[in-house]
Chain A
Amino acid sequence: MAIFKAPVDDTKYLINEFLDTSELNGNPMFDDMTPDLTDAIFEEAGNISESLLFPLNRSGDEQGCTWDDGSVTTPDGFKAAYDEMTASGWGNLTCQQEYGGQGLPHYVANAVDEMVIASNMSFSIYMGLTIGAYNAVNQFGSDTLKKTFLPNMVSGKWSGTMCLTEPHCGTDLGLIRTKAILSNDGSYNISGSKIFISAGEHDLTENILHLVLARTPDSPKGIKGISLFLVPKINLNTDGSLGNPNNVSCSGIEHKMGIKASSTCSMEFNESKGFLVGELNKGMKAMFIMMNGARIHVGIQGMALSHVSYCGAVDYAKERIQGRALKGPKHPEKAADPLIVHPDIRRMLLTMKAYTEGARALSTWLSFQLDVSHHADTEEQRQQANHLVSLLTPIFKSFLTDMGETVTSLGMQVYGGHGYIRENGMEQYLRDARICQIYEGANGIQALDLVGRKLPAHMGQYLRYFFHPLSQFIEENADNESVQMYIQPLSKSFTRLQNASLVIAQKGLSNPDEAGAAASEYLKLFGLVAMAYMWAQIAVQIKSDAGSMSEEFYDAKLKTSLFYMQRILPKTGALLSNIMSGSDNTMSLDAEQF
């Protein structure tokens, strides 16, 4: 049976020992984040996700959402769970206190998110989208909009969506057709069709606030003529109470491979009243802000599903007895040894573990950088962190969601045939994880964003804030004999990443196809090195000054780090060869020859 144990210990370790938060010392928001407080948050988040959400995961998948004449019903138990989660404040961790939020930093909130997602990804989507919408309105909306809508979003009374995709355009949003016509009262009439709208319609909240991309009649063509509007499902009366429906209808829900308990809706707007968020024709700017946060969130989804799959796999590998250890029986008293004695099972489990824990370290560090980019004292610090986050966001999204597919697939593999049947719940993770590689900008698009925008920006300036500290870290530890088994593989793969970066930058200038053909593999190479950087830091830290976790915990970390260095990181060599082979092997076949 699939089981779930929230990664509370690992999270505590990462926050209390691994993460260096000194850059925000003295900032009141962060000084409050004492281990006492954060440990309590993580424990409680672990409890509620294990006891409340995880039990609804498989039933939700089996039952799915149902659509009936415009209304959508979520699976049994979702509404009650939603009410409990929002009532206890789990839906608004990063929201500002003035609107009723918790005002927590990202590195704490994202750790909680992982637990919620791992326990029930479909459920988490309803809460996650509200935060995305909150961020856009909070950053770009007028004061009136904020006062009118934010408190009820923060409390979870109303939920939010992001309406981008239309039947004929997804990646290329410049083609959007949804119209916005100015009316006399300064609001807009929004008309058009949107598809693939997560949480577009459901029975969890009394109102739903749609953030809709649309264009006004005389706006410039393409991406520069798109504006963002807030369109409520139910109009508000002047006193703020709910009024008439706003001609927003759900014409159907999709039947999907995974995340079946999350309603994926087709929405119709018919002269629905909408309010401009931000400046006219600057909708993409606001959308990018939302998407950056959302992309990190999707990366965390890949990691969370990896974690829950790992929980199930380890449990099964210890319980299930089958065959004998190669060097002779380990448990002669039993009919067979447990799966975990077999090297190939261990290969799978360690791969899952090394990826998942490496990803968690990366997530903790990146989330903290996001906090630095918002809250550091100097503009220079904020900007550097912002550049770093911009650089790492596409990597984090793609690398962790590709990893999610790999790890959940391995988790199923450990179960053998019992993983492939639905009863044990392992195949659900793979199905749920698969969407993460596709939505919020497909992984190929992330790779193009990396090589096309982030890499060449200001002649590689963004890279500086990743490469320099890493280079310095390697230099500082060059003479430390006890950690060479971690540092040398890191150093080797780092050189590969440097060479790949130089080659792509140079070749890409004269032939963009060179950069395009190398993009996905370059992103993967980058992700592997970034994760190795985390694992090496963990090892160096433990070797020099272990903290208050158990000896066993640290020993496992060191061994997992070594496994990563020796059995996963060498992939960078093959990736570099691929990149160096150029674009000809990819581009020379005529379209007719396919």
Chain B
Amino acid sequence: MKIETVAVIGAGVMGSGIAAQIANAGKQVLLLDIVPDGAENRNIIAESSIQKLLKAKPAALMHKRNAKNITAGNLEDNLNNLADVDWIIEVIIERLDLKQDLYKKIEAVRKPGSIVSSNTSTLPLAVLTAGMPNSFSDDFLITHFFNPPRYMRLLEIVTGPQTQQQTIDALSHFCDHQLGKGVVHCNDTPGFIANRIGAYWMQTAMLDTMRLGLSVDEADALSGKPMGIPKTGVFGLMDLVGIDLMPHVLDSMVNSLPKTDAFHEQAIIPDVVTNMIADGYTGRKGKGGFYRINKTGGKKVKESINLDTGEYATSVKPSLESLKPGIAKNLQKFLNFDDKGGEFAWSVLSKTLCYSAGLIPEIGDNIEAIDRSMKLGYNWVYGPFELIDKIGVDWFINKLEATQQSIPPLLAAAKGKSFYRFHDGQRQCLTLSGDYQTLTREDGILLLSDIKLHQQPVKKNASASLWDIGDGILCLEFHSKMNAIDPDILAMIYTAVDIIPNDYNALVLYNEGTNYSVGANIGLALFAANVAAWPQIEGMVKSGQDTYKSLKHAPFPVVGAPAGMALGGGCESLLHCDAIQAHAESYIGLVEVGVGLIPAWGGSKEILSRWMTNPKRPKGPMPAISKAFELISTATVSTSAQEAKGHLFMLPADGISMNRERLLFDAKAKALTLLDGYTPPEPLELTLPGQTARTALNLAVTSFVQSGKATAYDGVIADQLAMILSGGETDIDELHDEDDLLTLERKAFMALIKNEKTLNRVQHTLETGKPLRN
């Protein structure tokens, strides 16, 4: 069965967020909520939710037009419309009576074989289906999304004994392929997997912070990078999720977990937190949380709460010995370190990891599912069992024994082993019996991290590697710091261009970093500029241009496969590909003007050519030139792959993968489709108007400068850009080939990098991560 239409019932934050992601997948969604008493507009709740979606930050919709895929309605007038949909998701308030009333109404109208799911996070499936007809239970399951549904990749699915296998399969497939979720099948136990462990971990960390008298800054620094938890740390995370949720989550856990469960020991809400909630300090959505931004005095000052007094004070960078790089980077040293930080780390990690290990098989019998849940649902860098492997199973057991903590059976079974291993060419994980079971990937999932387990790279240098991903396709992986493009990456592109024609068929640019690439390594360029090494800098620019040009005209297809940010030089690498297969969450743009430069690795040329050769462009070159000028001079970054198509960073034929894990497979497939009869792109020739166009472009900028929306130096940069896009110093329409435009890019770049203001921008951005307006 196929899912084409969906209804979401309940238009709150979660409901509308789920509806948005379904709309992002290009499916039609019916969003229903109740009719408020005496409402004139009976769809007012759903309609205003859709309005809010358009303004949500971070954006819930990948493109504004996706809002059109959502139809607002209400539960009185539109109930019958449920008869037309394939999947009905209930996202209403967590009250059993209301839910079951609704289910009865749904059951009366829905079409046979349609799927019904609840987004509950606290009510067991068994309770939800109690007393419901078999026909309902056959098609019912729990689909637990995480907030915000567009960005959080975990989807927990809980099925009952009656749920039909085909229902489970169809829904899993849809959520995986269309919604891009990492589906984890869970047992019907309280909090399922992620919240059971996550809530325990957060509570433990909070109570240990108070017990040891640490500041929230210290606790977050300790639980961030050193433990492999995102840099928000635990208090930052609670601010993000909403502190007022804690009592609800704890209540439901406490009420449903057996008295023997270790959760109860940690289920305490300290007075300071109760007071915070009462005073409206519920986190980022409220007046602030454990952290707040104090704007009095015109400056933004980050403050943290003192958990003893409840008073806020300016956040202080922690200076614990245990946070020194030599210690915090080595887990064993860190956990053994003799200060409050080491004590905290050991206490929180040992309890959390033992609790996790003790939940097998109760919440699931597969440790990989548990690790996956924590990574996808709580953004942990490592799951609990991966963490134990990193610490060392035996070391962990010994220390638990030494500190007289009890050892869960699964951990005892792991003694002398590790939870994961690579054996006979297979990834395997440990089971409760002490045996290993082989882990398999679903069809259509291809990961570089798997390939690396059993292959050596074809070529490798400090910043990039080439991997053979089968069927004659090579994958070029960046692995420099933040995947910044540097001379080593350029050299590896050359290597690929060199070896592929003889031994392979096509190339995919892809990596599994957080971001595809944040741009060229301008730290190198800045240093060279500071010592006035102008010929070397021009050489770097030329070498990037030559490399990307050789990629573009190579006698084989090249597919760019970005995920996350693809900025500046990273974006330029994509613009020189034959096709792009992007993860839906790709943020693409030419941001060079932010640091006082212009795209000079062929980026200005390529974006201009894309708009000039756009079949839909109006007559005359000016509209295309203006569009390219606007995109570059405002450093436009598309907020999704869908938006990137609108900017022509991606072309209509380029593909989008909703699921991050399917990106490489899809990109490879794309490359294979290009193989047959492949010819490299024709040499570029553009007719550009010269001076007149430049004058027109500058006119627009001048008004921005005069009105204070742009600085005078922004005007200088824009003029250099206008010089390239208009075709340089000519007064008549002149034919320009690729090299002419590259020469113009280079000239403009060199003029700008010699300017003190550009160097100050570059330096400021590298040091603070923020742009400098000078």
Which residues of A pack against B, CB within 8 Å?
Answer: 458-461, 463-464, 467-468, 470-471, 497-499, 501-502, 505-506
15 of the cross-chain contacts (CB-CB < 8 Å) are A459-B527, A460-B527, A460-B530, A461-B759, A461-B763, A463-B530, A464-B756, A467-B530, A467-B531, A470-B532, A497-B531, A498-B532, A501-B531, A502-B528, A505-B527
Residues of B with C-beta under 8 A to A468: 532, 756
* A491 vs chain B, min Cβ distance (A): 11
**Structural contact, A458 and B767, CB atoms closer than 8 A:** yes
**Structural contact, A458 and B532, CB atoms closer than 8 A:** no
Q: Report how far A145 CA is from B339 CA in the complex, Å.
A: 41
Which of A458, A501, A506 touches B524 (beta carbons < 8 Å)?
A506
* B445 contacts partner chain A, Cβ-Cβ < 8 Å: no
Mask for B749-774, Cβ within 8 A of A = 1, else 0? 00000001001000100110000000
**Structural contact, A498 and B531, CB atoms closer than 8 A:** yes
Residues of B with C-beta under 8 A to A501: 527, 531
* B406 contacts partner chain A, Cβ-Cβ < 8 Å: no
Residues of B with C-beta under 8 A to A458: 763, 767
**Structural contact, B530 and A459, CB atoms closer than 8 A:** yes
Which of B523, B524, B759 touches A464 (beta carbons < 8 Å)?
B759
Residues of B with C-beta under 8 A to A497: 531
* B723 vs chain A, min Cβ distance (A): 22
Residues of B with C-beta under 8 A to A506: 524
Mask for B527-569, Cβ within 8 A of A = 1, else 0? 1111111101000000000000000000000000000000000
* B764 vs chain A, min Cβ distance (A): 10
**Smallest Cβ-Cβ distance to A470: which chain B residue:** B532
Residues of A with C-beta under 8 A to B527: 459-460, 501-502, 505
* B628 contacts partner chain A, Cβ-Cβ < 8 Å: no
Name the prevailing secondary structure of the A interface residues.
Answer: helix
* B721 contacts partner chain A, Cβ-Cβ < 8 Å: no
Interface size class of B (residues with CB under 8 A): 10 to 19
* B580 contacts partner chain A, Cβ-Cβ < 8 Å: no
Contact flag A502-B766 (CB < 8 Å), given A459-B526, A460-B526? no
Residues of A with C-beta under 8 A to B759: 461, 464
**Smallest Cβ-Cβ distance to B526: which chain A residue:** A459
**Smallest Cβ-Cβ distance to B527: which chain A residue:** A460
Residues of B with C-beta under 8 A to A459: 523, 526-527, 530, 763, 766-767
Residues of A with C-beta under 8 A to B528: 502
Q: A461-B530, A468-B756 are in contact. List 17 more A-B contacts (CB 8 A).
A: A458-B763, A459-B527, A459-B767, A460-B527, A460-B530, A461-B759, A463-B530, A464-B531, A467-B530, A470-B532, A471-B532, A471-B534, A498-B533, A498-B536, A499-B533, A501-B527, A506-B524
**Structural contact, A460 and B767, CB atoms closer than 8 A:** no
- Among the interface residues A464, A470, A502, which one has the most CB atoms of the partner chain B within 10 A? A464
* A314 vs chain B, min Cβ distance (A): 38
Which of A461, A471, A502 touches B536 (beta carbons < 8 Å)?
A502
Residues of B with C-beta under 8 A to A470: 532
**Structural contact, A464 and B533, CB atoms closer than 8 A:** no
Mask for B503-534, Cβ within 8 A of A = 1, else 0? 00000000000000000000110111111111
* B13 vs chain A, min Cβ distance (A): 43
Residues of A with C-beta under 8 A to B766: 459
**Smallest Cβ-Cβ distance to A510: which chain B residue:** B462
**Structural contact, A502 and B526, CB atoms closer than 8 A:** no
Q: Report how far A501 CA is from B531 CA in the complex, Å.
A: 8
Q: Report how far A111 CA is from B531 CA in the complex, Å.
A: 30
Q: Report how far A470 CA is from B532 CA in the complex, Å.
A: 9
**Smallest Cβ-Cβ distance to A497: which chain B residue:** B531
Residues of B with C-beta under 8 A to A461: 530, 759, 763
Residues of B with C-beta under 8 A to A498: 531-533, 536
* A579 vs chain B, min Cβ distance (A): 14
- Among the interface residues B523, B530, B759, which one has the most CB atoms of the partner chain A within 10 A? B530
**Structural contact, B531 and A463, CB atoms closer than 8 A:** yes
* A533 vs chain B, min Cβ distance (A): 13
* Shortest Cβ-Cβ A-B pairs, 3 listed: A460-B530, A471-B532, A460-B527
Residues of A with C-beta under 8 A to B756: 464, 468
Residues of A with C-beta under 8 A to B533: 498-499, 502
* A463 vs chain B, min Cβ distance (A): 5
Residues of A with C-beta under 8 A to B529: 464
Residues of B with C-beta under 8 A to A460: 526-527, 530-531
- Residues of B214-267 whose CB lies within 8 A of A: none
Q: Report how far A499 CA is from B531 CA in the complex, Å.
A: 9
Mask for B415-453, Cβ within 8 A of A = 1, else 0? 000000000000000000000000000000000000000
* B319 vs chain A, min Cβ distance (A): 9
- Residues of B560-586 whose CB lies within 8 A of A: none
Q: Report how far A460 CA is from B533 CA in the complex, Å.
A: 12
* A302 vs chain B, min Cβ distance (A): 26
* B616 vs chain A, min Cβ distance (A): 44
**Smallest Cβ-Cβ distance to B759: which chain A residue:** A464
Q: Report how far A458 CA is from B766 CA in the complex, Å.
A: 9
**Smallest Cβ-Cβ distance to A472: which chain B residue:** B532
**Structural contact, A502 and B531, CB atoms closer than 8 A:** yes
Q: Report how far A432 CA is from B458 CA in the complex, Å.
A: 63
Q: Report how far A501 CA is from B533 CA in the complex, Å.
A: 10
Q: Report how far A116 CA is from B551 CA in the complex, Å.
A: 68
**Smallest Cβ-Cβ distance to B534: which chain A residue:** A471
Q: Report how far A506 CA is from B523 CA in the complex, Å.
A: 10
Residues of A with C-beta under 8 A to B534: 471
* A3 vs chain B, min Cβ distance (A): 43
* B37 vs chain A, min Cβ distance (A): 63
Residues of A with C-beta under 8 A to B524: 506
Q: Report how far A341 CA is from B262 CA in the complex, Å.
A: 98
Q: Report how far A498 CA is from B531 CA in the complex, Å.
A: 6
Q: Report how far A14 CA is from B1 CA in the complex, Å.
A: 91
- Residues of B258-306 whose CB lies within 8 A of A: none
Which of B523, B526, B532, B763 touches A467 (beta carbons < 8 Å)?
B532
* A511 vs chain B, min Cβ distance (A): 13
**Smallest Cβ-Cβ distance to B764: which chain A residue:** A458
Q: Report how far A497 CA is from B530 CA in the complex, Å.
A: 12
**Smallest Cβ-Cβ distance to A500: which chain B residue:** B531
- Among the interface residues B526, B528, B531, which one has the most CB atoms of the partner chain A within 10 A? B531
Q: Report how far A470 CA is from B528 CA in the complex, Å.
A: 15
Residues of B with C-beta under 8 A to A463: 530-531
Residues of B with C-beta under 8 A to A502: 527-528, 531, 533, 536
Q: Report how far A502 CA is from B528 CA in the complex, Å.
A: 7
- Among the interface residues B529, B532, B533, which one has the most CB atoms of the partner chain A within 10 A? B532
Q: Report how far A198 CA is from B526 CA in the complex, Å.
A: 44
Residues of B with C-beta under 8 A to A464: 529-531, 756, 759
Residues of A with C-beta under 8 A to B536: 498, 502
Q: Report how far A497 CA is from B531 CA in the complex, Å.
A: 9
Q: Report how far A444 CA is from B486 CA in the complex, Å.
A: 33
Q: Report how far A506 CA is from B527 CA in the complex, Å.
A: 9
Q: Report how far A470 CA is from B526 CA in the complex, Å.
A: 17
**Smallest Cβ-Cβ distance to A463: which chain B residue:** B530
Residues of A with C-beta under 8 A to B523: 459
* B740 vs chain A, min Cβ distance (A): 27
Residues of A with C-beta under 8 A to B526: 459-460
Residues of B with C-beta under 8 A to A505: 527
Q: Report how far A471 CA is from B523 CA in the complex, Å.
A: 21
Q: Report how far A494 CA is from B730 CA in the complex, Å.
A: 37
**Smallest Cβ-Cβ distance to A458: which chain B residue:** B763
**Smallest Cβ-Cβ distance to A455: which chain B residue:** B527
Residues of A with C-beta under 8 A to B532: 467-468, 470-471, 498
Residues of A with C-beta under 8 A to B531: 460, 463-464, 467, 497-498, 501-502
Q: Report how far A561 CA is from B524 CA in the complex, Å.
A: 35
* B765 vs chain A, min Cβ distance (A): 11
Q: Report how far A460 CA is from B532 CA in the complex, Å.
A: 11
* A499 vs chain B, min Cβ distance (A): 8
**Smallest Cβ-Cβ distance to B525: which chain A residue:** A459
Q: Report how far A459 CA is from B524 CA in the complex, Å.
A: 8
- Among the interface residues B529, B534, B766, which one has the most CB atoms of the partner chain A within 10 A? B529
* B597 vs chain A, min Cβ distance (A): 15
